[in-house]
Structure 1
Amino acid sequence: MNVLGGADFGRLVGAMRAAESRQQIISDNISNADTPQFKRSELVFEELLAEQMNESGHRSLGGIRTDKRHFEIGPSNQIPDSKLVTDETSVINNNGSNVDIDREMALLAKNQLRYNSYIQQINHEISMKRMALDGR
């Protein structure tokens, strides 16, 4: 039995991995802020996950698969892959770069808070499952 293999736990792990990747991308943007013609990149994950979970207000019917050969009905439980998006159109600095260091630092802080909340949620899930298994 795979205790930690549920869809919710998988989404948390996927979100944590996206936050790790986002940390690298934001750090790359910050380190290249003064590089001429550098274009900033951004990682999109939460928006894709929200679409996947159908949180945009369009609730649909879901079905229960009793056999793995059956088609899925309703939203999928698969975790979407994050997508790297590069802004090629804007220019902020005189050197042709579009990196706003203040914005990137704010995004870095926001991502750190998001990552910490994912870790807390994962730890909570694990402790709840451990408590259920131990009976304490």
Structure 2
Amino acid sequence: MILSDAYNYINVTGQAAAASKMRSTVIANNIANVDTPNYKRQDVKFESLLAAQMSGGGSLDSKIASMDLARLNAQVYTDNANLSYRSDGNNVDISTESSYYAQSQLKYNTLVDYMNRGFSAIKIAMGK
């Protein structure tokens, strides 16, 4: 985390990228356990944490500036723990997980690209 108002958006984007990377790891674990009896798929909670901090009045800049990054830590949770459509108790669907994995990778790459552009803009502004 960079401690400067100039980096507020980059810091939040960094948290989002970390959550996306974590989600990719969790999804890969789900895929690896597709044949494990009684395994329940896991996912990462991040977007709802971000939305909670973005709610309320004020400009986007003021919301980002006042955001508590410590409260934006992604959390792994078991998804639909009581649900299973398979006789072995597993609730992982390989097709769904594969699409979630691709989505997570695209999101991560987009976020990293956004951060790189932010640093490039700051570098240009500094005349470097």
Shorter chain as denominator, the TM-score bin is: 0.7 to 0.9
Residue correspondences, number: 120
Task: Flag structure 1 segments of 5+ consecutive residues without an equivalent.
Answer: 65-74
Q: Which amino acid aligns with 1:130?
A: K
2:127 corresponds to 1:134: yes
1:89-128 pair list within 5 angstroms: 89-128=82-121
Q: What CA distance in whole angstroms lies between the structure 1 residues aligned with 2:124 and 2:3?
A: 16
Q: Given that residues 42 and 86 in structure 1 are in contact (C-alpha distance below 8 angstroms), is that contact kept between their aligned partners in structure 2?
A: yes
User: TM-score, normalised on structure 2?
Assistant: 0.84
Larger Rg: 1
Secondary structure, aligned partner of 1:130: helix
Q: Which residue of 1 aligns with 2:73?
A: 81
Counterpart of 2:108 in structure 1: which amino acid?
A: Y
Look up the equivalent residue of 2:78 and give its one-letter code. Answer: T
Q: What's the CA shift for 1:37? A: 0.4
Gaps of 5+ in 2: none
CA RMSD of aligned residues (A): 2.4
TM-score normalised by length of structure 1: 0.79
Deviation (angstroms), 1:3? 5.7
* Fraction of identical pairs, as percent: 30
Stretches of 4+ aligned residues off by more than 3 angstroms: 1-5
Aligned partners of 1:48, 1:2: CA distance in 2, in Å?
Answer: 21
Per-residue CA deviation, residues 18-47 of structure 1 (Å, 9 max, x unaligned), is: 111111100000000000000110001012
Name the one with the larger helix percent. 2
Tell me how far apart the structure 1 counterparts of residues 77 and 87 of structure 2 sit (CA, whole Å).
Answer: 22
